[in-house]
Structure 1
Amino acid sequence: MNNWTYDEFKHCGVDYADPEQAEIYDSRHQKFRNDEQEFAGFLSRMPFEHHQELTLLDMGCGTGAAAIHASKHFRMIYAVDVSEAMLQQARRKAEREQRSNIEFIHSGFLSYEHRAEPVDIVSTKVALHHLPDFWKQIALMRMNAMLKMGGILYLHDVIFHFRPAEYQRKIDRFIAGFEAHAGKLFKAEVETHIRDEFSTFDWIMEGMMARAGFEVVSIHPSDGFVMEYFCRKAEEISIPYF
């Protein structure tokens, strides 16, 4: 890595490298998320048959919920995260469920070196927003290089899809909704996300994906904030990523 490369191992916003934060991550997020339901929706929209033959790279795997669900359907899962504390939680869960087809790797969007064959699917959920936009673009190009031609990039994240002039009202309503579902502590976490992390607008994200060689297949928005993108690798991008 060059001296000018963004340090993806330093935290922005909530510090998920903190073992205490990693330990309470699942219990907090289960107040407003259903991991099994989210994965079922993801799987139903996948444009592939014979899932058991496919490989998936999970970038920003966190405590491993999506990777563990995926391991029950796909041949091999590579699960990558910059937080060793989160990976420890994920490994324990995988061991409890006796999942042997997951490789957990302590690395990130800008540092992970994929030495195996290109994968069929790259999935990243609520993780890419930890990078500023310039480095999101680099991360997307690197993920392109790890995918087979025609492979799928799945992106699920906080991506603003409202008119910029509406930001005050939309963000206040978004935060209030989280407080109603998950309490004041999570309200503070969402405020930290908006203030200190790097979520961006949909038109910026879609431009970056196009420049990284991806074609958008389908978009599934909700509430002006959370977006799901299914994209197909349409072009090889020449970028060194080792």
Structure 2
Amino acid sequence: MSNSSYVDSHKAPGKGRRYDEYYATDAWGRYLWSREQEVLTQALEMFFGSRRDVRALDFACGTGRISSFLERHVASCTGVDVSEAMLEQARRKLERTTLVNANLLEQSPFEKESFDLITAFRFFVNAEPALRRAALRALAPLLAPGGHLIFNNHQNIDAPYMRLARAYAGWRGFEAFNVLSIAQCRELVAEVGLEIVHVFPVGTLRVPKLALPDVLYRMADRIAGASEMTARLATSPILVARRKA
């Protein structure tokens, strides 16, 4: 098992281009992105209503996928990432986002700023446990009063598909991949004074080695959204956190 940190995993030249090329050709990834945009739209309406002054920070923004959505829906968007290779790719697609190459865990360039919305996608599962906690300690103080942290758990061990995939990997002797449960996510954010207030299901219906029409995936996600009990069965749920009342 590698001892390297996730911080250094995406810094190689050309990494951003290869990252985008992979997800552009992955059918499941394309569905997840369409569903994530749908959820982000719902979340903005649910938690910010008609506000037009929302300041957003996209943490670990990578090639700008989430920022590309946010910059069309908020007053200002800032993306931050440790990888210049990923930011190089992001600059090709973003128009209104301020991009910052920095490691918030070492020295934050935002000490005098605050944000109404902070997003962090495809980060917490991939990061090692100590890095997850350090990131949350850096992000929580940046939330403005009434602000929200929105992040995804893209390898949710509560999901039947993920349990099956992890069991199969163990049976075949493959290196175990990172997973998180919804309960673990709650514990992580609680350590910095936040609480999960909503769980949106994303990727509820996933069948091994079988591609289904997107309409079926979307129908399953909408049905799962009826309660948190069913939402937690999704493979890649999106969670919303805010400061404890």
Q: TM-score, normalised by structure 2?
A: 0.71
1:200 aligns to what? 180
2:195 aligns to what? 215
CA shift for structure 1 position 203: 2.0
Distance in 2 (alpha carbons) for counterparts of 1:167 and 1:53: 38
2:18 aligns to what? 24
Higher relative contact order (CA 8 A, sep 6+): 1
Pick aligned residue for 1:229 from 219, 239, 245: 239
- Shift in CA distance, 9/134, structure 1 to aligned 2, threshold 3 Å: closer
1:184 aligns to what? none
Matched ranges for 1:150-165 at <5 A? 150-162=146-158
Which one-letter code corresponds to 1:54 in the other structure? V
- Shift in CA distance, 43/135, structure 1 to aligned 2, threshold 3 Å: same
Matched ranges for 1:32-181 at <5 A? 32-34=28-30, 35-46=33-44, 47-94=47-94, 99-100=95-96, 102-111=97-106, 113=108, 114-162=110-158, 169-171=164-166
2:209 aligns to what? none
Distance in 2 (alpha carbons) for counterparts of 1:125 and 1:66: 8
Distance in 1 (alpha carbons) for counterparts of 2:55 and 2:179: 28
- Shift in CA distance, 200/87, structure 1 to aligned 2, threshold 3 Å: same
Contact 1:60 1:108 in 2 (8 A): no
The alignment covers a number of residue pairs equal to 202
Distance in 2 (alpha carbons) for counterparts of 1:24 and 1:72: 25
Contact 1:36 1:69 in 2 (8 A): no
Q: Which runs of 5+ in 1 are unaligned?
A: 1-5, 175-190, 236-242
Distance in 2 (alpha carbons) for counterparts of 1:140 and 1:161: 21
Which one-letter code corresponds to 2:182 in the other structure? D
- Shift in CA distance, 7/112, structure 1 to aligned 2, threshold 3 Å: farther
Contact 1:53 1:75 in 2 (8 A): yes
Which one-letter code corresponds to 2:125 in the other structure? H
Alignment root-mean-square deviation, CA: 3.0
SS at the partner of 1:137?
Answer: helix
SS at the partner of 2:70?
Answer: helix
CA shift for structure 1 position 91: 0.8
- Shift in CA distance, 173/28, structure 1 to aligned 2, threshold 3 Å: farther
Which one-letter code corresponds to 1:82 in the other structure? V
